[in-house]
Structure 1
Amino acid sequence: MKKWMSILLTALLSIAVLAGCNAENKNETKETEASKPSDNNDSKQITALVGLQMEMIHTIRKNLEPVTAYEQSQDAALQEEAVSSSKLIANELRGLEIPSDLSKELQGDMKESVELLALYFEERAATLKPDADLTEMDAALAAFHEKIGATFEKAGLHAPNFKKDVQ
């Protein structure tokens, strides 16, 4: 009988300890949930930034083939289409909507970044001719990477590199 009584007492004590631990976990959960709004806001901003980055890449890739075809071949027959495609990319980039989930500061930074990338494609259109000076085009791409890198780092992300996406 003493054996059963000690087992029952141990079981009750274990249940009481577990109930106490569960109560502490609920309090910690409430504290964690109270701190979630800022985490949730950060998460929305990160999602919005990465989404905008993907839109920019998609906009570039869908119209880039004529540009790269001309640059590789230097075929005069492809030049006009390449220039048109490069200008089209610039215009479509400017038409991208900056997500409202971003803070006002990040929205402004991303507008500037998109504009710098559009300027790069305008410079690229201007250099689509034999023996063109690529200095301005390279400077525009560098300025874009600097701006977008700083913007992504403000949000706690690594700076993106669009170099492979524009070639």
Structure 2
Amino acid sequence: MKKWIFSMILVLVIVLSACTEEANNVDTADSEQVPADQSGETVTVLMNIQMEMIQTIRKHLEPVTSYEMSAGEGDLEAAVEASNRIANELRGIEIPENLDDDLSADMKDSIELLALYFEERAAAMSEGSDGEEVTAALDTFHQKIGEAFEEVGLHAPNFEKDIY
């Protein structure tokens, strides 16, 4: 009986050590596929900028969406003012100095493109236009910010749910 228990413990130890070794190999393989920047502070900086952009939008978006959903029956003046306020506050987002110069320029351009989107949206509401310029501005923004994020190995962000 003692030999049987000892044999079972020995088998259990061997199986557990093999599983641990396999798990260690998987972790190593995953970290080799991740770009070097993704493990550093660059990813954190980009994610913080993205969150600051989203928070800025959400803070003032309600009058804009209310007006757009009301089919022109809502408060146009409040909607235009809110959309322009979002654009101005987006331009106030600061890019940390520790970000690579090219990436910093890309993020500044992305923020400007998003601000232009909100200005186009305000103009479209005021003029009652179909919004082709608005769609084009949003597409340009998504392309620019997507390139910046993909450069460091991140998925391109999609702001669709945050702007409506």
Change beyond 3 A, Cα 1:148–1:86: same
Q: Is residue 48 of structure 2 the alignment partner of residue 51 of structure 1? A: yes
Q: Mark the structure with the bigger radius of gyration.
A: 1
Contact kept in structure 1, 2:87 and 2:116, CA below 8 Å: yes
Q: Which residue of 2 aligns with 1:71?
A: 68
Query: TM-score under structure 1 normalisation?
Result: 0.73
Aligned counterpart for 2:114 among listed residues 100, 113, 117? 117
Residue 25 of structure 1: aligned partner: none
Partner Cα distance (1:88, 1:102) in 2: 27
Cα RMSD for the two superposed structures: 1.9
Secondary structure at the aligned position of 1:102 is classed as coil
Distance 1:73 1:130 in 2: 16
Aligned to 2:19: none
Shift of 1:101: 2.4
1:98 corresponds in structure 2 to 95
Identity of aligned residues (%): 55
Moved segments of 4+, more than 4 Å: 38-42
Distance 1:113 1:101 in 2: 18
Cα 1:108–1:75 change in 2 (3 A) is same
Q: Distance in 2 between matches of 1:135 and 1:40?
A: 37
State the Cα distance separating 1:43 from its structure 2 match. Answer: 1.4
Q: CA 1:135 to 1:104, structure 2 compared with 1: closer, same or farther past 3 Å?
A: same
Q: TM-score normalized by structure 2? A: 0.74
CA distance, structure 2, for counterparts of residue 41 and residue 99 of structure 1:
17
**Take 1:111 and 1:55, find their aligned partners in 2: how far apart are those partners?**
13
Question: What are the residue-to-residue correspondences of 1:1-167 with 2, within 5 Å?
Answer: 39=36, 43-129=40-126, 131-167=128-164
Report the number of matched residues.
130
Does the CA contact (< 8 Å) of 2:38 and 2:154 recur in 1? no
Q: CA deviation at 1:72?
A: 0.5
Contact 1:52 1:99 in 2 (8 A): no
| CA deviation vs aligned residue, 1:90-142 (integer Å, no higher than 9, x gap) | 00000000122210010000000000000000000011147422100000000
Q: Deviations over 1:39-97 (max 9, x none)?
A: 57851110000000000000000000000000001344510000000000000000000
Query: Equivalents in 2 of 1:45, 1:109: separation in Å?
Result: 13
Unaligned 5+ segments in structure 1 are 1-37
Which deviates more from structure 2 when the two are superposed, residues 99-108 or residues 47-56? 99-108
Distance 1:156 1:76, change over 3 A: same
